[in-house]
Amino acid sequence: MDLMNDMSHRPWPIPSKNWIMRQTWSHLIFAHYPIPAELLRPYIPSSLIIDTYNGTAWLSIVAFQMEGIYFRGLRGLSVTPKFPEINVRTYVQFNGKPGVYFLSLDVGDWASLIIASRWYHLPYQPAQVSFIKEKQSFKVRSSRRGTLKHPIEFYGAFEPLSDVYFPEKETLDHWATERYCLFSTDKRANLYCGEIHHIAWPIQKVKTEITKNSLFTPFQLQPSESEPIVHYAKGLDTLFWNIKRL
């Protein structure tokens, strides 16, 4: 599918400049937790508005397999090997534009860690992350490096259950997945925006067993409910534009 010919689902047009990078994501797990917005506020730049769904803010854990990172013009040559990643994100707005803001991104691949943390000013953390496929289910394990005294870990097992569906507008499923930009800050508190594009998310409901999750503890955040709302997506390609200072 030509991504540039599939635009009808987007909330705003793509940037006029050329995209610079394509990423291929597979076997994505989205685990959404409700949380009071006031608990998130200390960790979100003051220039960003915390986005809410029916008055509630949300924290999401997103785990996936990065199949490849391809810079424009390199003819399908990935600059990194395949690797798993697990991140924590929330939902924000800037001047009415909805996007995501990452609190942490755990990854074991050093090249992607350096590229993303320096180029996109994202809070990547070195970790041991594994993503194991067993028939129709998946196991995700993550342990952040340098945290032996107070381990930051995530262990979960997931099995897609339902048929694939596209979330309807105005639903939480749609609100939490259909995001087409990310916001980040540098060490001087400058705010940046990175535009992305992909097809509308085809997702499934999931049978979930999370046995360990301390990804929120560095922020002293405790979600309102222990059981998240979880979705699975088989995968898609995503285009990235160069980051822009706001």
Q: pLDDT band at 111, cuts 50/70/90?
A: low
Q: Percentage of the chain with pLDDT > 90?
A: 76
Least confident span in 48-62, 108-122, 165-179 = 108-122
Q: How confident is the model at residue 171 (pLDDT cuts 50, 70, 90)?
A: very high
Place of tokens 């690797």: 83
What are the C-alpha distances in Å from 75 to residues 70, 71, 79?
A: 8, 8, 11
- The band of 80, judged by pLDDT with boundaries at 50, 70 and 90, is confident
Q: List, as one string, the DSSP characters of 175-224.
A: HHH---EEEEE-TT--EEEEEEE-PPP-BEEEEEEEEEE-TTGGGT---S
For the chain, what is the mean pLDDT? 91
- Confidence at residue 55, expressed as pLDDT on a 0 to 100 scale: 94
Domain of residue 88: give its range.
3-245
The mean pLDDT value for 18-32 works out to 95
Report the Cα–Cα distance between both ends of the chain, in Å, rounded: 32
pLDDT of residue 114 exceeding 60, the answer is yes
pLDDT band at 15 (very low <50, low <70, confident <90, very high): very high
Angle 98-224-230 from CA coordinates, rounded to 5°: 65
99: its two tokens: 């996007």
CA-to-CA separations, 145 to 60, 102, 125, 150, in angstroms, rounded: 21, 19, 8, 11
In terms of DSSP H, where are the helices of the chain?
37-40, 110-119, 172-177
Q: How many domains does the chain have?
A: 1
* Mean pLDDT across 59-85: 90
pLDDT at residue 79 tops 60: yes
**Who's near 194: CB < 8 A, 6+ residues apart?**
120, 181, 182, 183, 184, 240, 241, 242, 243, 244
- Mean pLDDT calculated for residue range 201-212: 95
- Check which CATH number belongs to the domain holding 83 and give it: 2.40.400.10
